[in-house]
């Protein structure tokens, strides 16, 4: 490990301890991650993002704290410091995925979801580097919130960027009036909000942490749909444990929840279309058509 003076000095100012070495961490398409070795023997992860919009790292820290409120819920990294220009987290040594760890994560995710929340959030956030509208008008249903706050903003952005064809956009729009009849109404869950494989950290010793939340109150099938969309090692063990834990907590999943995963996968596909282009817009259109 070497030492990047500018990053080190910024971390020292926030942590009040010397940084002896730094090294880049691979991965991530939004922020730059750097491992810090601190003089007091700890290791930390420093996230920076040149030109980050106002509130970017504060929103991530707010989501981590909110998820951490749930006793025996999904583990999240400890926040060491949060500022306008960076976020410092306690370093977690990565391990390997196991079926037992996935099952434990499924159980903990059910506890987090069923701890409950109000629909949306008091403050807007971010998903990736895009703004995420989270404020919910009083009395709005999940179907309305999902259509207006999750699908339509990213459909418009993807269309404006030429990342979704008009016919695929029309298929998505045709699905929206049918959402209330497709997705069962239930109390809002405490969501991670961006729960894909890249935001799941398999730690040494079998503890799995979740990272980079876009947290808000919403339908619990959103997190399950995103895990299924982009794949996760031992996903079946996770979802089986989730089903068992939800039933034990008195809120079993609907028997047809797996058949509805595509409804809530349209949102992350449109986010990806807006960010990266490619075939994500066509995939969103095809999924929407399958429910119409």
- Cα–Cα distance measured from residue 214 to residue 191, given in angstroms and rounded to the nearest whole number: 8
Residue 79's φ and ψ, nearest 5 degrees, are -80, 125
Tokens for 105? 């994560």
- Cα–Cα distance measured from residue 272 to residue 19, given in angstroms and rounded to the nearest whole number: 36
Please spell the DSSP secondary structure of 108-151, one letter per residue. HHHHHHHT---SB-SS-EEETTEEE-----TT--HHHHIIIIII
**260: Cβ–Cβ under 8 A, 6 or more apart, which residues?**
182, 183, 221, 254
Greatest CA separation found in the chain?
59
Q: Name the pairing type of β-strands 200-202 and 189-191.
A: unpaired
Q: Say which of 72, 100, 124, 194 is annotated catalytic.
A: 194
Q: Is 194 a catalytic residue?
A: yes
Give catalytic residue positions: 194
């Amino acid at each position: 490990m070497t030492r990047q003076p500018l990053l080190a000095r910024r971390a020292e100012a926030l942590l009040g301890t010397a940084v002896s070495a730094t090294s880049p961490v691979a991965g991530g398409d939004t922020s730059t991650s750097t491992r810090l070795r601190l003089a007091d023997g700890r290791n930390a992860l420093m996230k920076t993002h040149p030109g980050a919009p106002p509130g970017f790292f504060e929103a991530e820290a707010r989501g981590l704290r909110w998820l951490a409120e749930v006793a025996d819920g999904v583990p999240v990294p400890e926040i060491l410091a949060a500022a306008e220009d960076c976020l410092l987290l306690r370093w977690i040594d990565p391990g390997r995925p196991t079926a037992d760890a996935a099952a434990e994560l499924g159980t903990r995710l059910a506890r987090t979801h069923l701890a409950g929340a109000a629909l949306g959030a008091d403050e807007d956030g971010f998903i990736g580097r895009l703004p995420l509208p989270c404020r919910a008008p009083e009395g709005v249903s999940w179907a309305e919130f999902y259509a207006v706050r999750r699908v339509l903003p990213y459909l418009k952005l993807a269309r404006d960027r030429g990342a979704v064809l008009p016919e695929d956009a029309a298929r998505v729009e045709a699905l929206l009036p049918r959402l209330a009849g497709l997705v069962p109404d239930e109390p809002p869950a405490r969501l991670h909000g961006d729960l894909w494989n890249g935001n799941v950290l398999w730690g040494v010793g079998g503890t799995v942490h979740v990272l980079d939340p876009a947290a808000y109150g919403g339908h619990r099938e959103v997190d399950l749909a995103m895990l299924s969309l982009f794949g996760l090692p031992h996903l079946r063990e996770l979802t089986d444990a989730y089903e068992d834990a939800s039933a034990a907590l008195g809120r079993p999943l609907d028997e047809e929840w797996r058949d509805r995963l595509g409804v809530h996968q349209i949102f992350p596909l449109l986010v990806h279309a807006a960010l990266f282009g490619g075939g994500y817009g066509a995939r969103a259109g095809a999924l929407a058509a399958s429910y119409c």
